Amino acid sequence: MDHFAYRDGELHAEDVPVARIAAEVGTPFFCYSTATLRRHYSVFSDALAGVDATICYAVKANANLAVIRTLAQLGAGADVVSGGELERALTAGIAPEHVVFSGVGKSRNELTLALDARIGQFNIESAEELELLSKLAAAADVTARVAVRVNPDVDAETHKKISTGRHKDKFGIPWPEARDVYARGAALPGIEIIGVAVHIGSQITTLKPFETAFGRIVDIVGRLRADGHDIRRLDLGGGLGVPYESETPPSPAEYGEMVRKVTLGVGCELVFEPGRVIVGNAGVLVSRVLYVKNSAGRTFTVLDAAMNDLLRPSLYNARHAILPAREPAADAESLPMDIVGPICESGDVFARDRPMPPLVTDDLLVIRTAGAYGAVMSSNYNGRPLAAEVLVNGDVFEIVRRHQTTAEMLGLERIPSWLGGFDADRERGAA
Ligand code: LLP
């Protein structure tokens, strides 16, 4: 359930008409709902009631400081995959001991940053990374708490680009190689082995792959303990899917039930890294119709949002529900149209042959389920500034990231000496 709904013919985010925000902020912008974030977080944590569990929100899904802080206030930790995400989590108020650092390629600088911050857990993905972490930790005279990410060779039955738990994927260490890494870790200075981590993919819509993977990991815990390791944390990753249009993923309650069953008696603190299930349906992308172009028997509705703002339809052929901000009349006719962005690529399409009520220039369209992997994946392609982000809370809203300016985009660049040597922003200022 989310808090985007029509009231008196106008789409509202909680108690605020989306059209009012659009008039004040300018389109395109992402709009997030505090009540929905809170609700999704509590549904997930309620599903684990009675379980010794830590929820480390996967910052990669939506890294806006205001979103992270909303979740931090509810008790969330953070799963981060870069130094940048770590700094975001800490800035937003997540306690360092509740931070898990995941990722297949953590740099020396990132490991150092995380050691300095005294984060709670490093999820190690290779023997080489473990050796480097040991060297850095020993030099700094600190101890890194380590889980090894094990690759269970399970197909998550999701889009191939977001499946991570098969041996052919780059993630984790397959058993029995992982067993050697644990043995090595136990002997290294600066390393304290605490657990096992697994993450098999994202937007997973059935329980079966989770169940298979978790079962394999529980079995591995037993073997590691037999090898003499004190395994006390089990990080089960994220990945629970959400409904975009017609999907029917398991509920968090069903997921929690399955977890309870599979981990019964394992005697570990459990860690979860949910991203999409918390923020996906807590956000929308609001855009204005620039033109309705009828050509060659097709209707192209051209928006001011594009694939640089929301990449998912272009990259994964993802289907997002799209609604007009003004509720169509019950008897309004419905016409198939292609809803597209202005970018110079044929793939810049949000939906093809989508039945929609007739639209005209300046109408507002709302692309749903854009709270996860929306703003975080946006770019400046085609010289387009990053869109604004807005957080609604009841009957108020605030801009939590303003629109980027063109000057800010150009400001990172400079012309080299042999071409005249100037900073783009200084030149513009002088002009
Ligand atoms: N933990 C790890 C180690 C991960 O790699 C991920 C997501 C998560 C947790 C959170 O997964 P979630 O609960 O959000 O499914 N850009 C893609 C999704 C990529 C997910 C990458 N890893 C998309 O737009 O569908």
What atom in ligand 1 is closest to the CA of residue 273? 9
Q: Which of 79, 85, 196, 276 for mutating ligand 1's site (highest number of atoms within 8 Å of CB)?
A: 276
Q: Is the pLDDT of residue 292 over 70?
A: yes
Q: Is 203 in the pocket of ligand 1 (CB under 6 A)?
A: yes
> Binning pLDDT at 50, 70 and 90, where does residue 157 land?
confident
- In tens, the pLDDT along 57-105 reads 999 999 999 999 999 999 999 999 999 999 999 999 999 999 999 999 9
Q: Is the pLDDT of residue 426 over 80?
A: no
Q: Is the pLDDT of residue 431 over 70?
A: no
Residue 335 and residue 356 in contact, taking contact as beta carbons nearer than 8 Å: yes
Mean pLDDT computed over 25-53: 98
Residue 369 and residue 323 in contact, taking contact as beta carbons nearer than 8 Å: no
- In tens, the pLDDT along 173-228 reads 998 899 999 999 999 999 999 999 999 999 999 999 999 999 999 999 999 999 99
Q: Which comes out higher in pLDDT, residue 426 or 403?
A: 403
Q: Which of 123, 124, 202 for mutating ligand 1's site (highest number of atoms within 8 Å of CB)?
A: 202
Mean pLDDT computed over 390-415: 97
> Binning pLDDT at 50, 70 and 90, where does residue 229 land?
very high
Q: Is the pLDDT of residue 132 over 80?
A: yes
Of residues 401, 391, 382, 409, the one with CA closest to residue 314: 382
- In tens, the pLDDT along 327-359 reads 999 999 999 999 999 999 999 999 999 999 999
* pLDDT in the model for residue 427: 64
Q: Is the pLDDT of residue 150 over 60?
A: yes
Q: Is 374 in the pocket of ligand 1 (CB under 6 A)?
A: no
Task: Provide the percentage of residues in the chain whose pLDDT is more than 90.
Answer: 92
Instruction: State how far the alpha carbon of 315 is from the alpha carbons of 148, 187, 392, 403, 424, in Å.
Output: 30, 43, 29, 24, 32
- In tens, the pLDDT along 369-384 reads 999 999 999 999 999 9
Catalytic residue among 31, 56, 268, 344: 344
Q: Is 268 a catalytic residue?
A: no
* pLDDT in the model for residue 165: 83
Mean pLDDT computed over 248-272: 97
Of residues 194, 144, 191, 153, the one with CA closest to residue 171: 153
Cα 55 to the center of its chain, rounded Å? 14
* pLDDT in the model for residue 429: 55
* pLDDT in the model for residue 160: 87
Residue 258 and residue 240 in contact, taking contact as beta carbons nearer than 8 Å: no
Q: Is the pLDDT of residue 168 over 90?
A: no
What atom in ligand 1 is closest to the CA of residue 204? 15
Mean pLDDT computed over 16-42: 98
| Alpha carbon nearest to ligand 1 atom 8, residue | 238
CA of 305 to the centre of ligand 1 (A): 23
Q: Is the pLDDT of residue 430 over 60?
A: no
CA of 237 to the centre of ligand 1 (A): 9
Q: Is 249 in the pocket of ligand 1 (CB under 6 A)?
A: no
Domains by residue range for the chain, with CATH: 4-31+280-410 (2.40.37.10), 34-277 (3.20.20.10)
What atom in ligand 1 is closest to the CA of residue 315? 24
CA of 387 to the centre of ligand 1 (A): 22
CA of 428 to the centre of ligand 1 (A): 40
* pLDDT in the model for residue 296: 92
* pLDDT in the model for residue 163: 83
The mean pLDDT value of the chain amounts to 96
Q: Is 237 in the pocket of ligand 1 (CB under 6 A)?
A: yes
| Alpha carbon nearest to ligand 1 atom 24, residue | 373
